[in-house]
């Protein structure tokens, strides 16, 4: 198998170039860097152009900066009870980098094609929540200043978890009551870390404090409800939940994107604002181009195109029939026109 996309490490350096032929040694190298999935070249799908929310280079650079700054912030906060004065500049630079990447698209969509494992979840999660929040803010017509504040809130919403015992955060099983109480403290800890930083909006600090509040008052830490929860914290609360469900953890595999949306919608109007959920649904390419899928017919194939008006029903190129036989002449099915056919699973191999 030949690699279908270049793989980068956290520092943005190339681990393996596109077209490299894989072998056991190279696969072990990728696994040691937390890479558990790759795209491969396939003559049947060589015409497919993978849609990227942001480039791999931007993702690698952003992750590296998030990791470094979170670690520096925690170290200084523990020693001096202050945070680095340049923190605002560093994270505003990340938001600006994301905005520039998103500006390459006519219509920025949330694509889940970025392949990531369970390693260093906090940094991946922080980047994703920041990125998704910015995309939703763009769709709402927010100004650059508003996008900067919202994006900063998304990137920094979980910074308080740096003060939580990592053994509890990464526990491979259900947390006890006392352990859950400890984890819940991250909202207030994050607020305390951010509220006095010069040039970081107090709204950004409140995103850290309020992103687990819910519309009916059932959230934490204060149990506030409705419009008492800042609009940006409401956005972040939704995408925080969505990304958590669709990401791998040490104790479970990622949930299928459409299943995660179904769960979010069970809280529509009670836990989450209904209009904001609809906006998220309309911006997620939950079956990104290039992903391998299984249909309810038993057939398997690859997503080759999206339907802008119905992102959850893409165009699929069928490569394998229901009996498991490879097709000599693959064909395409537009799920927006074949409503009796649906995707039932995402596959890692075909």
Asked whether residue 84 falls in the same domain as residue 150, the answer is yes
Residues 129 and 24 in one domain: no
pLDDT tens digit string along 7-23?
A: 876 556 788 888 999 99
Share of the chain above pLDDT 70, in %: 92
For residue 8, the cross-strand partners are 14
Higher-confidence residue: 275 or 288? 275
The C-alpha atoms of residue 143 and residue 135 are separated, in whole angstroms, by 12
Q: Which residues contact 83 (CB under 8 A, 6 or more apart)?
A: 73, 76, 77, 193, 194, 197
Looking at the fold, whether 279 and 301 belong to one and the same domain comes out as no
Domain assignment of residue 300, given as a range: 292-347
End of a domain among 264, 285, 306? Answer: 285
Instruction: Verify that 23 and 119 share a domain, yes or no.
Output: no
User: Which of 124-128, 154-158, 344-348 holds the top average pLDDT?
Assistant: 154-158
> What is the chain's mean pLDDT, rounded?
88
Number of residues that make up the chain: 350
Say how far apart CA 236 and CA 137 lie, in whole Å: 11
Residues 231 and 90 in one domain: yes
**The last residue of a domain, from among 285, 300, 324:** 285
What pLDDT is recorded for position 44? 86
Place of tokens 């998304």: 154
Query: Do the domain assignments include residue 50?
Result: no
pLDDT in tens, 254-284: 777 778 889 999 999 999 999 999 999 888 8
Q: Is 144 a residue whose pLDDT tops 90?
A: yes
Backbone angles phi and psi of 332, in degrees to 5:
-110, 145
Q: Is residue 51 part of a domain?
A: no
> Does residue 247 sit in the same domain as residue 143?
yes
pLDDT attached to residue 117: 46
Residue 334's nearest CA partner among 308, 79, 321, 324 is 308
DSSP secondary structure, 212-226, as one string: T--TTS--SSS---G
pLDDT classification of 115: cutoffs 50, 70, 90:
very low
Q: What is the CATH number of the domain that holds 245?
A: 1.10.3210.10
Instruction: Name which of 8, 245, 292, 293 is nearest 121 in CA terms.
Output: 245
- Number of structural domains found in the chain: 3
Cβ–Cβ under 8 Å, residues 98 and 119? no
More confident residue, 183 or 284: 183
Residues 48-90 pLDDT 10s: 877 678 887 788 889 889 999 998 888 888 888 888 878 899 9
pLDDT of residue 10: 57
pLDDT band at 246; cut points 50, 70, 90: confident
Strand order across the beta sheet in which 343-347 lies: 326-334, 315-320, 300-305, 292-295, 343-347
Looking at the structure, tell me whether residues 154 and 260 fall in a common domain: yes
Establish if 240 belongs to a structural domain: yes
User: What DSSP element (H or E) covers 16?
Assistant: strand 14-16
**Chain mean position to CA 169:** 18
270 and 303 within one domain:
no
Residue ending a domain, among 241, 264, 285, is 285
Same domain assignment for residues 261 and 300 = no
């Amino acid at each position: 198998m030949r690699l279908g996309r270049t793989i980068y490490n956290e520092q943005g350096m190339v681990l393996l170039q596109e077209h490299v032929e894989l072998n056991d040694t190279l696969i072990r190298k990728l696994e040691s860097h937390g890479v558990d999935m790759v795209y491969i070249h396939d003559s049947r799908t060589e015409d497919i152009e993978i849609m990227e929310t942001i480039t791999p280079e931007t993702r690698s650079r952003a992750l590296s900066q998030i990791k470094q700054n979170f670690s520096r912030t925690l170290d200084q906060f523990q020693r001096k009870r202050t945070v680095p004065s340049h923190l605002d500049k560093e994270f505003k630079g990340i938001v600006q980098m994301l905005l520039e990447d998103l500006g390459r698209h006519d219509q920025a969509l949330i694509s889940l094609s970025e392949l990531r494992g369970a390693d260093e979840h906090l940094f991946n999660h922080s980047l994703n929540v920041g990125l998704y929040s910015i995309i939703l803010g763009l769709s709402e017509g927010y100004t650059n200043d508003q996008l900067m504040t919202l994006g900063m809130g998304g990137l920094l919403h979980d910074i308080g978890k740096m003060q939580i015992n990592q053994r509890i955060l990464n526990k491979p099983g259900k947390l006890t009551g006392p352990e859950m109480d400890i984890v819940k403290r991250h909202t207030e800890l994050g607020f305390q870390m951010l509220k006095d930083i010069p040039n970081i909006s107090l709204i950004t600090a409140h995103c850290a404090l309020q992103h687990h509040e819910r519309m009916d008052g059932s959230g934490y830490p204060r149990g506030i409800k409705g419009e008492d929860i800042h609009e940006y914290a409401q956005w972040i609360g939704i995408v925080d939940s969505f990304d958590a469900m669709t990401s791998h953890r040490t104790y479970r595999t990622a949930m299928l994107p459409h299943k995660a949306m179904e769960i979010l919608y069970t809280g529509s109007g009670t836990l989450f604002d209904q209009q904001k959920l609809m906006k998220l649904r309309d911006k997620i390419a939950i079956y990104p181009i290039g992903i391998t899928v299984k249909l309810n017919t038993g057939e398997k194939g690859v997503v080759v195109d999206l339907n802008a008006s119905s992102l959850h029903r893409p165009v699929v190129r069928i490569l394998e029939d229901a009996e498991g036989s490879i097709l000599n002449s693959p064909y395409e099915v537009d799920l927006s026109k074949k409503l009796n056919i649906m995707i039932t699973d995402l596959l890692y191999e075909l």
